């Protein structure tokens, strides 16, 4: 019986879907709608910096970014294979999609240092 990474990739896909559904709408609502309209006051730069300087906040943001990247990679992989009919190139598509997600996660981690 051959073991594959597929269950782990589906787990990352699911986690990314949850993060994208629960966290991103709140961030977009706050920073993209309510604050620009003046409904909610913008945080002072030093308060926002103090929040982002905390290691748990950085880890949470990194987790959201990485999970969303893997969610997108999984969707792109299977959608491109189905719509474009290029399932025969699955190994190459998987490496490009998930490699892009890993590279994006590394870039996000480096930006948060």
Instruction: For residue 12, give its domain range.
Output: 6-111
Question: pLDDT, tens digit, for every residue of 55-79?
Answer: 999 999 999 999 999 999 999 999 9
Share of the chain above pLDDT 70, in %: 100
At residue 6 the predicted structure's pLDDT band, cuts being 50, 70 and 90, is confident
pTM check: above 0.75: yes
User: For residue 23, is it within any domain?
Assistant: yes
Q: Which of 11, 3, 2 is nearest to 98 (CA)?
A: 11
Opening angle at CA 80, ends 68 and 72, nearest 5: 0
Question: pLDDT, tens digit, for every residue of 90-113?
Answer: 999 999 999 999 999 999 999 988
Counting the structural domains of the chain, the total is 1
User: For residue 1, is it within any domain?
Assistant: no
85: left (phi over 0), alpha (psi -120 to 50) or beta: left
User: For residue 26, is it within any domain?
Assistant: yes
Contacts 24+ apart (CB under 8 A), 20-25: 20/67, 20/68, 20/71, 23/64, 24/64, 24/68
Domain holding 38: CATH number?
Answer: 1.20.1300.10
């Amino acid at each position: 019986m051959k073991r594959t990474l597929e269950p782990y990739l589906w787990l990352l896909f699911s986690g990314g879907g949850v993060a994208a559904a629960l966290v991103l709408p709140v961030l977009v609502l706050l920073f993209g709608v309510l604050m620009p309209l003046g409904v909610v006051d913008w945080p002072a730069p030093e308060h926002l910096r103090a929040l982002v300087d905390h290691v748990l906040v950085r880890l949470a943001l990194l987790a959201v970014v990485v999970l969303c990247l893997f969610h997108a990679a999984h969707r792109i992989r299977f959608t491109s294979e189905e719509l474009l009919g290029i399932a025969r190139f699955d190994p190459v598509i998987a490496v490009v999609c998930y490699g892009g997600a890993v590279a994006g996660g590394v870039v996000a981690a480096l930006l948060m240092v």
